[in-house]
Amino acid sequence: ATAAKVAATTIVAKEQAKEAGQAAAKVAAVTTHSKELAKEAGQAAAKAATTTIVAKEHAKEAAQEAAKVAAVISEAKEHAKEVGQVAAKVAAVTTQAKETAKEVGQEAAKVAAVITEAKEHAKEVGKIAAKV
C-alpha cells in the first residue's frame, strides 16, 4: 500500500511539476511580450521627442520669418512716410512757384503798362516836336 501511495504521489508530483513548467513558460512568454511592449514604448517616446524637437525648430524658424516680414513692413511704412514728406515739399514748392509766376505776370503787366504809357508820351513828344 505504501508503494502504491508513493507511486500515486510521484504521479501527482510529476503532474504538478508539468503544470508548474507550463506556468513558468507562460510567465516567460508574458515577460518577453512585456519587454517587447516596453521596447516599442521607448521607441515611440524617442520618436515623440524627436518630433517635438523638429516642431520647436519649425516654430523658431516661423518666428524668425515673421520677424523679417514685420521688419520689411516697418521699413515700407518708413519709406511711405518719407515719400509723403517729399510729396508735401514738392506741393509746397509748386504752390510757391505758381505764386511767384503770378507775381511775375503782374509785374510784367505793370512793365507793359509803363511801356505803353512811355510810347504814348513819345508819340505826344513826337507831335510836339513836329509842331516846333
- Over residues 16-48, the pLDDT tens digits come to 999 999 999 999 999 999 999 999 999 999 999
Q: Please state, rounded to an integer, the average pLDDT across all residues of the chain.
A: 94
Distance from C-alpha of 87 to C-alpha of 81, rounded to nearest angstrom: 10
- What local confidence, expressed as pLDDT, does residue 109 receive? 94
Distance from C-alpha of 39 to C-alpha of 33, rounded to nearest angstrom: 10
Q: How far is CA 32 from the centre of its chain?
A: 51
DSSP string, 47-91: HHHHHHHHHHHHHHHHHHHHHHHHHHHHHHHHHHHHHHHHHHHHH
Cα distance between the two ends of the chain: 192
Q: DSSP 3-state assignment of 132?
A: coil
Radius of gyration of the chain (CA): 56
Q: DSSP 3-state assignment of 1?
A: coil
Residue 98: band (very low, low, confident or very high) from pLDDT cuts 50, 70, 90: very high
Distance from C-alpha of 15 to C-alpha of 93, rounded to nearest angstrom: 116
Q: Mind listing the pLDDT tens digit for each residue in 46-92?
A: 999 999 999 999 999 999 999 999 999 999 999 999 999 999 999 99
- What local confidence, expressed as pLDDT, does residue 131 receive? 83
Q: Give the mean model confidence (pLDDT) for residues 1-29.
A: 92
Q: Give the mean model confidence (pLDDT) for residues 101-110.
A: 95
